């Protein structure tokens, strides 16, 4: 059918419509008798549309496959290092000495995470070593302190004094000395992993002094410690060994011992123990300080011999409790100990 016949059949109407399997579009030019006719078969029209849709779907599938492949590769690149890090973490056994081995990756964030875990492992190992060492020193120090109080001369002298008091009928004083001795042993053997308050340590000192005064009736022990210091947390058994040393080397005819506490700038405290004895010579003070430094090499360096080890014991306990914030001086006037208020 030609175009004119077609236009006559549709009564020269303009617009788009379907007819005989074709899409048709007719429009008039400039209000004249000239008409333009566009026509395309429906099959060709949908064929092009379906071809476009097919290409679009194929493109979408290709893009999807590529995205899945890239995502899988990226996931593997990330998950494998994470798996390796987790594997190394599961292998860590500080008790067996198996440490975390750092994992090298090409991902900055994971490298940072791996290095951080490695640093954490090292700090944890150091902390555990410090705790174990502190515990060993704690036990060893308690044994030394208990052994010191159970030395034959201390117990024999104390029991001899109590025997003399029993002959004189001083039952109350005997009961008091027995109570002091019992409380001293109980204080030494009690478990205190975080130290004690200073007033508790001073109670222990006072019990020891009370027993010693029965042997040395002329003994004078003065204490001048500010009340503000009494709640400071200190390691156990750091003052009584100093007082014991003063009783050993003071003027035996009229012992005089002075315990002075002081709060210093920077939240620090110190306690000085002096007596009326000859004091430490320079060589003796140097010898004690050398023993103190050598004692920090390990628990085995702490000798089980009591003579001269009480002062070293105090130094070790201060170092383990306060780390670097420690005051420890030995001179002719006496001994000064201290630390930072926790």
Sign, Cα dihedral of 143, 148, 149, 151: positive
What proportion of the chain, given as a percentage, has pLDDT over 70?
Answer: 69
For residues 82-110, give the mean pLDDT. Answer: 67
- Calculate the CA 138 to chain-centre distance: 19
For residues 73-79, give the mean pLDDT. Answer: 73
Point out the least confidently predicted range of 4-8, 90-94, 269-273: 4-8
**pTM reported for the whole predicted model:** 0.59
For the domain spanning 127-340, the CATH number is 3.30.565.10
CA distance 188 to 142: 6
CA distance from start to end of the chain = 108
Helix (H, G, I), strand (E, B) or coil at 41: strand
CA distance 205 to 240: 5
Point out the least confidently predicted range of 31-40, 282-291, 300-309: 300-309
* pLDDT exceeds cutoff 80 at 286: yes
**What is the CB-side half-sphere exposure of residue 238 using CA atoms within 13 A?**
31
Q: What pLDDT was estimated at residue 263?
A: 92
Burial zone of 99 (CB within 10 Å; 0-12 exposed, 13-18 middle, 19+ buried): middle
Q: What pLDDT was estimated at residue 107?
A: 67
CA distance 92 to 125: 11
* pLDDT exceeds cutoff 80 at 4: no
Residue with token string 């690149």:
77
Rounded to the nearest 10 degrees, the angle between the axes of helix 171-189 and helix 108-149 is: 160
226-230's contacts with Cβ under 8 Å and 24+ in sequence apart are 226/261, 226/262, 226/263, 228/263, 229/198, 229/261, 229/263, 229/269, 230/197, 230/198, 230/199, 230/202
Q: What pLDDT was estimated at residue 259?
A: 96
Q: How far is CA 336 from CA 96, 215, 278, 339, in A?
A: 41, 26, 17, 10
Q: What pLDDT was estimated at residue 203?
A: 94
HEC readout, 69-84: HHHHHHHHHHHHHHHH
Q: What pLDDT was estimated at residue 302?
A: 47
* pLDDT exceeds cutoff 80 at 88: no
Q: Identify the band that residue 229 occupies on the pLDDT scale cut at 50, 70 and 90.
A: very high
Burial zone of 201 (CB within 10 Å; 0-12 exposed, 13-18 middle, 19+ buried): buried
C-beta separation of 302 from 313 below 8 A:
yes
Q: Identify the band that residue 225 occupies on the pLDDT scale cut at 50, 70 and 90.
A: very high
pLDDT digits (tens, 9 = 90+) for 129-167: 766 666 666 666 655 555 555 455 677 788 888 888 888
Kindly list the domain boundaries of the chain, sorted by start residue: 127-340
């Amino acid at each position: 059918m030609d175009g004119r016949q077609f236009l006559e059949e549709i009564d020269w109407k303009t617009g788009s419509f379907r007819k005989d399997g074709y899409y048709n579009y007719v429009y008039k030019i400039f209000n004249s008798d000239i008409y333009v006719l566009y026509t395309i078969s429906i099959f060709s029209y949908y064929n092009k549309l379906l071809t476009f849709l097919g290409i679009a779907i194929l493109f979408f599938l290709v893009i999807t496959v590529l995205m899945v492949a890239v995502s899988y590769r990226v996931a593997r690149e990330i998950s494998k290092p994470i798996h390796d890090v987790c594997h190394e973490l599961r292998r860590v056994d500080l008790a067996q000495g198996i440490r975390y081995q750092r994992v090298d990756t090409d991902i900055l964030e994971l490298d940072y995470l791996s290095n951080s875990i490695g640093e954490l492992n090292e700090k944890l190992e150091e902390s555990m070593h410090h705790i174990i060492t502190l515990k060993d020193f704690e036990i060893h120090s308690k044994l030394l302190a208990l052994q010191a109080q159970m030395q034959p001369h201390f117990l024999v002298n104390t029991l001899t004094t109590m025997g003399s008091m029993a002959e004189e009928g001083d039952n109350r004083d005997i009961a008091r000395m027995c109570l002091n001795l019992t409380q001293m042993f109980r204080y030494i053997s009690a478990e205190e992993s975080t130290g004690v308050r200073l007033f508790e340590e001073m109670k222990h000192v006072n019990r020891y002094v009370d027993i010693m005064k029965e042997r040395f009736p002329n003994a004078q022990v003065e204490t001048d410690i500010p009340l503000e210091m009494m709640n400071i947390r200190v390691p156990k058994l750091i003052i009584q060994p100093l007082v014991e040393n003063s009783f050993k080397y003071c003027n035996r005819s009229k012992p005089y011992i002075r315990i002075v506490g002081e709060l210093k700038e920077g939240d620090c405290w110190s306690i000085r123990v002096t007596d009326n004895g000859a004091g430490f010579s320079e060589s003796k003070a140097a010898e004690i300080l050398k023993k103190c430094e050598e004692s920090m090499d390990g628990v085995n360096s702490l000798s089980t011999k009591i003579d001269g080890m009480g002062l070293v014991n105090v130094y070790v306990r201060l170092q383990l409790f306060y780390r670097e914030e420690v005051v420890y001086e030995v001179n002719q006037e006496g001994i000064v100990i201290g630390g930072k208020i926790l």
